[in-house]
């Protein structure tokens, strides 16, 4: 029988009703007790790492989860991390950079409804997550509502319904129907994982709106060492309000900038319009292409944990990790 480690972090799946709203109060043993089928599939040990609404999770928690997997890696065949859905896509992306080339499955799951609700998705998601941890491909993945999504490609796209997650610019890896696993794709893995233990958390995200003030960009470039900018369409920077000057000065001061798009699908291409070409051809900045914003933010944190040098950052950013970026031509 396979040995699986379950790491509890909180979320709706483990929540109870309180006068102040849902709060994660159930521990991993209580979750497992609600789904006896899992005990027939594998041997499970549990760690209750956190009991948090994932809204309250921060990069230090991502590092804590990665440390827990590393500490117990040799003793288990796979890992299931129960987690709130709200920031699960960020955690999945962060873990994909902190634990690379992993041949064993590291599965994140959660639910839109607590496990003790009559109409809950918790039991199905937990059962599927354990099934995948026993039989699925290696690397960081989200198992949710019968779909298996690569950790670097996940985004929460529904706030209430069971189909909470989508795979962005990449196909689902597998589907699970009535405990049958149809594995379409797997992510390439090495013989052993490569663990990282540093993230630069001084990274910000600016979503442009029509009329964005230069003062906001200046503030973010003063405040943060790395900045992801979600622009419009295939990408570019508005030509009003001296935003270009602000960005140029930030780049000169050594800030690492990633340009991406707020359009959910198909990614950026700064070479199409003048508003993008001018940026790309005159400033040393990075482009996220088909990456999710969650992956772009986490990859910037990960690479800045290693370097501030633009050339080195460029190499790391454009080298695909767990299929996170496929359209880049730069090396």
In the complex, minimum distance from the CB of residue 93 to ligand ASP, in angstroms, rounded to a whole number: 15
139 to 80, 131, 251: CA distances (angstroms): 12, 15, 34
Among positions 28, 54, 246, 292, the unique one binding ligand ASP when judged by CB under 6 A:
54
| Binding flags for ligand ASP, 150-189, as an x/- string (CB under 6 A) | ----------------------------------------
Question: Which residues in the 239-278 window bind ligand ASP by CB under 6 A?
Answer: none
Residue nearest to ligand ASP (CB): 84
Report DSSP letters for 65-82, one per residue. HHHHHHHHGGG-SEEEEE
Which CB, 117 or 273, lies closer to ligand ASP?
117
Active site annotation includes 260: no
* Residue window 83-102: x/- pattern of binding to ligand ASP, with contact defined by CB under 6 A: -xxx----------------
Query: Which CB, 11 or 276, lies closer to ligand ASP?
Result: 11
Which of 8, 11, 193, 236 lies at the binding interface for ligand ASP (CB under 6 A)? 11
Residue 12 or 268 with smaller CB distance to ligand ASP = 12
252 CB-contact burial (10 Å; exposed 0-12 / middle 13-18 / buried 19+): exposed
Tell me: does residue 112 bind ligand ASP (CB under 6 A).
yes
- Does 59 participate in binding ligand ASP (rule CB under 6 A)? no
Using CB under 6 A as the binding rule, whether residue 110 contacts ligand ASP is answered as: yes
With vertex at residue 116, the alpha carbon angle to CA 127 and CA 144, rounded to the nearest 5 degrees, is 35
Cβ proximity to ligand ASP: between 158 and 240 the closer is 158
Q: Which range of residues in 48-56, 119-127, 196-204, 276-284 is near ligand ASP by CB under 6 A?
A: 48-56
User: What number of other Cβ atoms are within 10 A of residue 67's Cβ?
Assistant: 14
Q: Which of 8, 53, 96, 290 binds ligand ASP (CB under 6 A)?
A: 53
Mutual orientation of helices 243-252 and 274-282 as an angle, nearest 10°? 20
Closest CA to 298 of 50, 7, 49, 98: 98
Task: List, in order, residues 6 or more apart from 186 with CB less than 8 Å away.
Answer: 136, 137, 138, 139, 173
Establish how many alpha carbons lie within 13 A of residue 244's alpha carbon, considering only the half-sphere containing its beta carbon.
15
- Binding part of the chain for ligand ASP, among 79-87, 168-176, 196-204, 272-280 by CB under 6 A, reads 79-87
From 78-86, 136-144, 147-155, 316-324, span contacting ligand ASP (CB under 6 A)? 78-86
Q: Which is nearer to ligand ASP, 111 or 133 (CB)?
A: 111
Neighbours of 43 (CB within 10 A): 12
Task: Give all strands (DSSP E) within the chain, no chain letters.
Answer: 3-10, 15-18, 21-24, 43-52, 78-82, 99-100, 105-109, 139-144, 147-150, 154-156, 165-167, 174-177, 180-183, 194-195, 203-207, 226-231, 256-261, 286-287
Considering 9, 12, 87, 91, which one is annotated as catalytic? 12
For binding to ligand ASP (CB under 6 A), which residues are involved?
A: 10-12, 53-55, 84-86, 110, 112
Catalytic residues: 12
């Amino acid at each position: 029988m396979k040995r699986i480690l379950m790491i509890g972090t909180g979320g709706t799946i483990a929540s109870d009703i309180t006068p102040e709203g849902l709060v994660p109060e159930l521990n991993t043993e209580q979750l497992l007790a609600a789904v006896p089928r899992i005990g027939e599939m594998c041997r499970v040990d549990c760690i209750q790492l956190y009991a948090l609404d994932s809204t309250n999770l921060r990069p230090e928690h991502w590092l804590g989860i990665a440390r827990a997997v590393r500490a117990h890696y040799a003793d288990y065949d796979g890992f299931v991390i129960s987690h709130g859905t709200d920031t699960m896509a960020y955690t999945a992306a962060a873990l994909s950079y902190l634990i690379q080339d992993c041949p064993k499955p590291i599965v994140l799951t959660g639910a839109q409804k607590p496990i003790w609700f009559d109409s809950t998705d918790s039991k199905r998601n937990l059962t599927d997550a354990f099934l995948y941890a026993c039989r699925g491909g290696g690397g960081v993945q989200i198992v949710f509502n019968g779909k298996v999504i690569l950790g670097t490609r996940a985004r929460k796209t529904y706030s209430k319904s069971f189909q909470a997650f989508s795979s962005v610019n990449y196909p689902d890896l597998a589907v699970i129907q009535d405990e049958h696993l149809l594995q379409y794709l797997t992510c390439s893995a090495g013989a052993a994982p490569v663990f990282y233990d540093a993230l630069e958390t001084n990274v910000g995200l600016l979503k442009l709106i029509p009329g964005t003030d230069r003062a906001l960009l200046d503030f973010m470039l003063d405040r943060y060492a790395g900045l992801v900018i979600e622009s419009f369409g295939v990408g570019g920077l508005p030509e009003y309000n001296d935003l270009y000057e602000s960005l140029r000065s930030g780049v000169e001061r050594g800030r690492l900038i990633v340009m991406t798009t707020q359009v959910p699908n198909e990614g950026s291409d700064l070479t199409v319009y003048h508003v993008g070409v001018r940026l790309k051809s005159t400033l040393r900045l990075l482009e996220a292409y088909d990456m999710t914003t969650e992956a772009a933010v986490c990859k910037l944190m990960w690479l800045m944990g290693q370097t501030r040098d633009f050339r080195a950052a460029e190499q790391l950013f454009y080298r695909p990790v767990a299929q996170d970026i496929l359209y880049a031509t730069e090396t």
